[in-house]
Chains A and B, each alone.
Chain A
Amino acid sequence: MKRVRISQQEIVFAVFAALFLSFSIFLNGFLSADNMLTLLQNVAVLGILGLGMAIVVIGRGIDLSLIAALAVPGGLVLQMVQNGHSLPASLVAAGLLAIAVGLVNGWLIAYAEVPPLFATLASGLFVAGLGQAALFQLDVVQWSDGMAGFERLGQGSILGIPTSIVMFAIACVVVFVLLRKTRWGAYIYAIGDNPFAARVTGIPSRPIIVLQYVVAALIGCFAGLVMAASVNSMPTRIFNSTLIYDVILVVVLGGIGLSGGRGGVVNVIIGTLLIGTMLNGMTILNIPYAGQNLIKGLVLLVAVITDTFLNPRNEETAQQGDI
C-alpha cells in the first residue's frame, strides 16, 4: 500500500487558501483591490527579509541580526544624506556596513565556531547599539531633500504593479539564481544537508558560510532601503519589535526546515503570502497589536511542532549542543 505523503508546503498552501477564502467571504473589504495591494505591499519587505533568512537557514544557520542589518545601514543612508553627503556615497557606506556585519557574523560562526544563534543575537544587539549610540540623532531618521527620487524604490508602480512588490520579485529572482543556478548555491544546500560530509567532500565550507551571512546582511540592507523609501523615513526602533519572529515565521511556515538543506524561494513566497493574509485579516478584524502577536506566536508554535514531526532532526549530523 502506498502511503500518501503530504509535504508541509502543500499543507501551508492549503491553509493559506482556506484562510484567504474564509476572509474573502466573511470579512468585508478584504477582497477589494485596494486591500489586496496593501496586503502585498505590507508583506513585500517581510518577503525580502525572508529571502535573506532562507539562504542562511538552508545552510543550517539562523540570522537574528537581520533586523539590525535592515535598520542601521538603511538609517545610515538617510542620516548621511541629511548631514549633507551625496546619495551614492551614502549608499556605498551603507553597503559596506552591511557587508561588515555579514563578514563579522560569518567569521564568528565559521571560524570562531560560535553557534549562529549567539553570534547573530549578539552582533544584532551590537549593531543596533552602535546605531543608537553613534550614528543616529533621533530614533526615527527623517527623509531629507537629498533623497529626492529615491522614494521610487518603495512607492509608485511599474506597469501597474506596486514597486515594492516588483522589488520583492527582483530579489526572488536573484536569490533563486544564486541558490539554484550557481555552484555556490549548490554548496549552501550541501553544507545545510550535512556539514561534515560537505567538508569532507572538499567544499570550502567556511568561506561559503561567510558568504551566506554577507548575502543575508546585504538583502537585509536592501529590504531596509525599500522600507525607508516606502514610508519616507527609517524608524530604527524597529529593532525592538517582533519583526524578526515574523521573518522566522515566514521561513518555517513556508517549509524551509530549520535543520537545513531543504526548501527554496517558492517556500518563502508561500510563507509570505500566508503571513500577509493572516496579518491583514487580523488588522481588519481590529485585533490589538498584542493580540496579533499572541496569535502569531501560537501559529508559529504549531508550525514549528509540525516542522519537527515532518523534518525530524538528523541525529547523525546534529551536533552535540546544537540548540
Chain B
Amino acid sequence: MRETLTRLRYRYWPDHLLGEILSKRWTETAIPVILLLIVGFALSRSLEHFLSPASLADTARQAGEIGFIGLGMALVVIVGGIDLSVGSIFALTDFCALYLLDVLNWPVPAVVVVTMIVGGLLGAVNGVLIGYLRLRAFITTLITLIIYRSAYDLLIQRYSNAIASAFPDIPSWNFIGGGDVLGIPSVALVYIVIAIFGHIFLTRLRPGWHITAIGGSRRSAYNSGIPVRRTIALCYVASGVLTSIGALFFAARLGTVGGDIGVGLEVIVLTATVLGGITLGGGKGSVVKSMVGVLIVLLVTNGLTAMNARGGVNRMALASILLVAAMVDIRWQKNRTRIISKVYVAPTYHALPPPPPTEIGQGGPFEQNDRLREVSLIGLGRIEAPEDVILDRNDVLYAGSRHGDIIRFFPPDYERMEVFAHIGGQPLGMAFDKEDNLYVCIGGMGLYRIKPDGTVEKATDETNRSIYSVNDDSRLRLADDLDITDDGLIFFSEATVRYEMDEWPVDGLEARGNGRIICYDTKTGATHTALRGLKFPNGVAVASDGQSILFAETFGCSIKRYWFAGPKKGDVEIVMDNLPGYPDNINLASDGNYWLALVGMRSPSLDLAWKMPGFRRRMAKRVPVDEWLFPNINTGCVVKFNEQGKILESFWDLKGLNHPMITSMREHRGYLYLGGIANNRIGRFKLDNADPDFVQYDRRWGKSS
C-alpha cells in the first residue's frame, strides 16, 4: 500500500522541475516582477485614483523619463561600473535644451540633436576617465556629479529668468512633452522602442555580448581580444545620451530649471537598478530588469507622496529598499549555485526485483568464473579511459582517450600507437559506416564523424527540443553509444539530459528516465529524438532483422528492443530485464548473438535506496557529494545473449587485477577486445570456439574491394 502510494507520488509529481526552473536565468527577473505586482496591487487598493487613465498616463510619463536614465545605468552597471553623475547630467541637459529653445530660439530638431550630443559629451568625460585612464567609477562619477552640478548652478544663476519668462508654443515640442498616441504618452512610446532595441542589443548583438563579458570578467575579456577600454568608455557615453533623452522629455513637459532638478536622482535610479536585479559589479542584467526596477521605485515613492508621507520617510523607504535589494542580490549571487545544486537532484521511485544469483555454486547463466583472468594487455599506461574499442577491416585497433583523442594501435602486436584524430571531448561509443568513416559519440559534444584520413567533422550536436521540457534539451549533453542501420540511419543513445558527463553517477542516484535514443540520418543530415524517458540508455546495436535496435538501459538494468521500421514500427519490447548488473555497450558476436558488458554489479544497498526516494533526497541535500551512494562499477563481466533474451555465457575476472573494469568489448578474429572507461589499458582475450576470421564490419557491410 505504502509502496504504491510512493510509486504514484513519484510517478506523477514533477520533482525535477523545481531545480530546473531555479537554474533558469529568467527566475531572477521573476522575483522583481512579482514584487512589482504586489506593490501595484497594494497601491491600487489603498489609493483611490491610482488606476485612473490620467494617473496611469502621468506615471507612464515619469517612468519613461526615469526609465531612460535607468537604461543608461543598467548598461554601465552591467559593464562593471557605476554612474552617479546622471542626476547632474540630467539637470545640465535639461538646461541645455531649454536654453537652446527659449533663449537662442533654435528649431526643435536641432535642440533635440544638440542636447543629445551634449549628453554624450558629458558622459564621454566619465568614459575617458574610467575607460581609458582606468579611474574608479564610483569616485570619478561622484566628482563629475559635483562639477556638473556646480556648472548647472552657475548657469541657472544667469539664465533662469530668461528661461522662466519664455513660453514656447511649438506643436512638436508640446507633443514631446504631453502628446500621446492612442492614449500612450509619447515618452512611453519612445522608451518602448529604445527598450526593445536595447534588449536585442544586449542579448543578440556582438557589442552587447562584449559589455556583458567585460562586466563578467574584465581580464578575461581583455585576454580574448575585446576592446575593453573603448567599450567601457562608450557605455558611459550611452548613459549620458540616454540621460539627455530623459531630460528632453522632462524639459518639454515641465519647462523649468529649478535648483533641485536631478538632485538625488542617482540614488533613485541606482535603487531601481539594484532592485530590478542587475548585479552590482557587472556581468548580469537585462532591459526588463531595469524597467521593472524603475517601475517599483516610482510606484513606491509616488505612493508614499500620495499618502502624504514626510520627505524623511521617503528617504528611509528608498534607503531600506536599496539595502535589502543589494543584500538579497549579493546573497543570491553568492549562494545561487549551492541552492540549486541542493534542490536539483530529484530522486524518484525505482523498484527492481531481487537480482538473479551470480555466486559460484548457485548455477545459472551468471555464475561467476575466472575466464577473463588471463587477458593480455595493450597499451598499458599509454592510454587513458578507452570507453569503447573498435577494429577496422585492416585489424587496426581504435580507442578513445580522456584527452579527447582517438588513439590507434597497429597489428600484429599492437605495440605501435599513434593519435589518429584529435576531437577535444571524451570519445565514448564508436562505429564504422560503409565508407569506413568512424562515427564517434563524444560526451558533452555530440556525434562526430572521422574520415579514414583522420579529418574530424561534426555530424550532429542537437535534436528537436521537446515541448514540455524546462531545461533546453535540444543540445546533446551525453551522447553515449551508437550503431548504423543499412539505410544510413544512426541511432545513438543520450544517457541523460539533466547532467553533464562527469555527473553520471548522480543520474543513477536520481534513477529517473532522463535519457533518450536519438536518430541521425546520414543522408539528410536531420536529427530527431526517437525515444525519451529512458533510464540512462547506453549500448546500442542494430538487430538481425535490420528493422530494430537493441539498447541497454544502464540504471533500468534491462535490454530493450525498438522497431524503427517494418510492421512493428514504433514498438518497444523488453528483451531482458532485472539483470544482476548495469548493462553498458552491446556489440555483435561472430555467431550472430550479442556481447554485452556489465560495467558493475547491483548492490543490495543501492537497490534498497532506489525504493526510498526520500532517503536519497535527504542524502543529496545533507551529505557532501563525495559521500553519496555510488553505483558499483568495480566488478563486472561480459555476457553473451541472443535476441530472445537468453544469456548464453558469461566471462568473469574474480580478482580484477589485469583488467578491472569493462564498459565495452569487440570481437575480432577470435579475440575479444575489452575497454573500460576508468582503465589505463585495453584487454585482449582469446575466445575458444569463435570464428577466427570474424571481422565485424566486413560481416556488417560486406567485404571491401
CB contacts (< 8 Å) of A130 on chain B: these are 312, 316
Contacts of B315 in A (CB 8 A): 125-126, 128-129, 132-133
CB within 8 Å for A133 and B313 given contacts A118-B326, A258-B139, A321-B282: yes
Q: In the complex, how many angstroms separate the beta carbon of A128 from the nearest chain B beta carbon?
A: 6
Is residue B142 contacting chain A, with contact meaning CB distance below 8 A? yes
Query: Using Cβ atoms and an 8 Å threshold, which residues of chain A touch B267?
Result: 121, 125
CB of A316 to closest CB in B, whole Å? 11
Q: Which residue of A lies closest to B327 (CB)?
A: A112
Whole-angstrom CA separation of A131 from B310 in the bound complex: 11
Distance A16 CA – B224 CA, assembled complex (angstroms): 45
The A-contacting residues of B in range 108-154, CB under 8 angstroms, are 129, 133-140, 142-144, 146-147, 149-151, 153-154
Closest residue on chain A to residue B81 by CB atoms: A323
Of A159-167, A174-182, A194-202, A301-309, the one contacting chain B is A301-309
**Known: A248-B139, A293-B150, A294-B151. Is A315-B219 also a contact (CB below 8 A)?**
yes
Interface contact B323-A129, CB-CB below 8 Å? no
Name the residue of chain B whose CB is nearest to the CB of A131: B312
Q: Are B281 and A245 in contact (CB under 8 A)?
A: no
* Residues on the A chain within 8 Å of B154, using CB: 288, 290-291, 294
How many A residues, CB 8 Å from partner?
Answer: 49
Contact (Cβ within 8 A) A293 B311? no
Q: Is the CB of A133 within 8 A of B150?
A: no
List residues of A (261-313) whose CB comes within 8 Å of B's CBs: 288-294, 296-298, 300-301, 304-305, 308, 313
Asked if A304 meets B143 with Cβ closer than 8 Å, knowing A117-B138, A126-B319, A323-B81, the reply is yes
In angstroms, Cα B319 to Cα A128, docked, is 10
A158 interfacial contact with B, CB 8 Å: no
Please encode chain A, from 97 to 122, with 1 for each CB lying within 8 Å of some chain B CB and 0 for all others.
00000000000100011110111011
Interface string of A121-156 (1 = CB under 8 A from B): 111111011111110000000000000000000000
Tell me if B323 and A123 are in contact (CB < 8 A). yes
Q: In the complex the two chains form, is B138's CB within 8 Å of A323's CB?
A: yes
Q: How far is the CA of A242 from the CA of B280 in the complex (A)?
A: 25
Contact (A122, B280) CB under 8 Å given A108-B327, A290-B150: no
Return chain A residues, CB-CB under 8 Å to B218.
320
CB of B376 to closest CB in A, whole Å:
52
* Contact status B150-A294, CB under 8 Å: yes
| Residues of chain B within 8 A of A294, CB atoms compared | 146-147, 150-151, 154
Minimum Cβ distance to chain A for residue B305 (Å): 14
Q: Which residues of A contact B217 (CB under 8 A)?
A: 320
Within the assembled complex, what's the spacing in Å between the Cα atoms of A242 and B153?
Answer: 13
Q: Mark B248-289, 1 if CB is under 8 A from A, else 0.
A: 000000000000000100010010001000011111000000
Does chain A have a CB within 8 A of B517?
A: no
Complex contacts, A319 vs chain B, CB 8 Å: 281
* Number of chain B residues close to chain A: CB under 8 A: 53
Q: Do B319 and A129 touch across chains, with their CB atoms under 8 A apart?
A: yes
Cross-chain contact of A297 among B146, B274, B314, B316 (Cβ < 8 A): B146
Indicate if B2 sits at the interface (CB-CB under 8 A): no
C-alpha gap A118/B325 in the complex (Å): 11
Residues of B within 8 A of A113 (CB): 330, 334
Q: Is the CB of A129 within 8 A of B138?
A: no
| B143: chain A residues within 8 A (beta carbon) | 245, 297, 300-301, 304
Residue B322, interface by CB 8 Å:
yes
Q: Does A322 contact B (CB under 8 A)?
A: yes
Most buried by A among B81, B134, B322: B322
Candidate in B146, B154, B274, B331 with the most chain A CB atoms within 10 angstroms = B146
Chain A residue numbers with a CB within 8 Å of B81 are 323
B320 within 8 A of partner (CB):
yes
Contacts of A240 in B (CB 8 A): 263
Residue of A nearest to B331 (CB): A112
Known contacts A126-B320, A132-B311; decide if A323 and B137 are in contact (CB<8 Å). Answer: yes
| Docked CA distance A35–B133 (Å) | 39
Contacts known (A112-B327, A323-B82); A126 close to B316, Cβ less than 8 A = yes
B524 beta carbon closer than 8 Å to chain A = no
Assess whether B157 is interfacial by the CB under 8 Å rule: yes
Q: A118-B326, A133-B313, A320-B217 are in contact. Are A308 and B135 (CB under 8 A)?
A: yes
Task: State the Cβ distance, A223 to closest chain B Cβ, in Å.
Answer: 21
Using known A-B contacts A297-B143, A320-B281, determine if residue A134 contacts B312 with beta carbons closer than 8 Å. yes
Question: Is B240 interfacial (CB 8 A cutoff)?
Answer: no
Known A133-B310, A245-B142, A290-B154; judge A323-B323 contact (CB<8 A).
Answer: no
Residues of B within 8 Å of A112, CB to CB, are 327, 330-331
Whether B149 pairs with A293 at a CB distance below 8 angstroms is yes
Tell me which of A292, A293, A300, A321 has the highest count of chain B C-beta atoms within 10 A of its own C-beta: A321
Residue among A125, A291, A323 making CB contact with B150, cutoff 8 Å: A291
Report the separation of the CA atoms of residues A252 and B143 in the bound assembly, to the nearest whole angstrom.
12
Residues of B within 8 A of A118 (CB): 270, 274, 280, 322-323, 326
Interchain CA distance A141-B629 in the complex, whole Å: 69
A128 near B312 (CB under 8 angstroms)? yes
Q: Please encode chain B, from 324 to 339, with 1 for each CB lying within 8 Å of some chain A CB and 0 for all others.
A: 0011001100100000
Interface string of A226-262 (1 = CB under 8 A from B): 0000000000000010100100100010000010000
Closest chain B CB from A186 CB (angstroms): 26
Contacting residues, chain A, for B133 (C-beta < 8 A): 305, 308
Shortest Cβ gap from B56 to chain A (Å)? 28
Q: B377 contacts the other chain (Cβ, under 8 Å)? A: no
Q: Are B312 and A293 in contact, CB atoms less than 8 angstroms apart?
A: no
Distance A293 CA – B144 CA, assembled complex (angstroms): 11
CB of B23, distance to nearest CB on chain A (Å) = 22
- On whether the beta carbons of A129 and B313 are closer than 8 Å, the reply is yes
Tell me if B312 and A132 are in contact (CB < 8 A): yes
| CB of B80 within 8 Å of the partner chain | yes
Chain A residues with Cβ below 8 Å from B274 are 118
Expressed in whole angstroms, the Cα–Cα distance for A215 and B603 within the complex equals: 62
- What's the nearest-Cβ distance from chain A to residue B279, in Å? 8
Residue of A nearest to B82 (CB): A323
B687 at the interface (CB under 8 A from A): no
A113 to B279, CA, bound (A): 13
B318 within 8 A of A: yes
Which of chain B's residues have a CB closer than 8 A to the CB of A252?
Answer: 139
Query: How long is the Cα–Cα vector from A122 to B329 in the complex, in angstroms?
Result: 15
A295 to chain B, nearest CB (A): 8
Q: Select the residue from A113, A118, A288, A294 with max chain B CB neighbours within 10 A.
A: A118
Contact A308/B312 with A126-B320, A294-B151, A300-B146 known, Cβ cut-off 8 Å:
no
| Residues in chain A near residue B318, CB distance under 8 A | 125, 129
B300 to chain A, nearest CB (A): 14
Chain B residues contacting A117 (CB-CB under 8 Å) are: 82, 138
Q: Given the complex of chains A and B, what is the CA–CA distance between A123 and B327 in angstroms?
A: 13
By a CB distance below 8 angstroms, the chain B residues around A258 are 136, 139
Contact yes or no, A122 B323, CB < 8 A? yes
B280: chain A residues at CB < 8 Å are: 115, 118, 321, 323
CB-based nearest A residue for B139: A304
13 example contacts (A-B, Cβ-Cβ < 8 A) are as follows: A113-B330, A115-B326, A119-B323, A122-B320, A126-B323, A129-B311, A129-B314, A132-B311, A133-B316, A290-B153, A294-B154, A297-B146, A304-B140
Chain A to chain B: the 5 pairs with minimum beta-carbon distance, closest first: A321-B281, A133-B312, A132-B312, A129-B315, A290-B153
Which A residues form the contact surface with B (CB < 8 A)? Answer: 108, 112-115, 117-119, 121-126, 128-134, 240, 242, 245, 248, 252, 258, 288-294, 296-298, 300-301, 304-305, 308, 313, 315, 319-323
